[in-house]
Amino acid sequence: MAEVEQLEAALGQGGPSMLRADTMVRRMLDLGLRSGEVARLGLDDIDWEAGTITLRRTKGRREDVMPLPEATGRAIAAYPRDERPKTQHRMVFARHMTPRERPIGPDLVRKTIRQPLAPCWRKTTGSDHRKAILEWANAGAAAAEFT
């Protein structure tokens, strides 16, 4: 439970790329996304009117349409408005350093969420980050608590 409290306290902190990290973690918590699914999400994959998000090229090589939780939608909307650098590509997340026009990959997602949330991590690597986040959330912290 202490890890959940640390994770919760780490969200919403100021600093470079923190809004991007918060939005990535929010997606992983609320939707159970893998780092590759977070990296590949495009602006056109979000249907704001229907309140859905479309995942393309999932691990099962299918296309999934999922409901978009309100808190996740707010986080996704805030990142392009407040922190995302201008780019020509339509991916939700962008590199904050050159080459900005090259879309991010799963490794950058893992690096981005690991840095600001370092106090919360046990010794985890790669896909274990997603498992740890979901484990903490399931350990008693409802997704709504992570704002």
pLDDT at 46 over 90: yes
| Calpha distance 65→21 (Å, rounded) | 23
Higher-confidence residue of 31 and 133: namely 31
The model's pTM? 0.72
pLDDT digit string (tens) for 50-79?
A: 999 998 877 777 888 999 988 888 888 888
The region of weakest confidence among 6-15, 38-47, 104-113 is 6-15
Q: How many CB atoms lie within 10 A of CB 88?
A: 7
pLDDT at 43 over 50: yes
pLDDT digit string (tens) for 114-134?
A: 765 666 655 555 556 566 666
The H or E element containing residue 52 is: strand 52-55
| Calpha distance 61→29 (Å, rounded) | 21
Look up residue 47 and give its amino acid: D
Question: Mean pLDDT in the chain?
Answer: 77
Higher-confidence residue of 30 and 87: namely 87
The answer to whether residues 20 and 83 touch, using CB atoms and an 8 Å cutoff, is: yes
| Calpha distance 107→42 (Å, rounded) | 17
Sorted by sequence, the CB contacts under 8 Å of residue 103 that are 6+ apart come out as: 39, 40, 89, 91, 93, 94
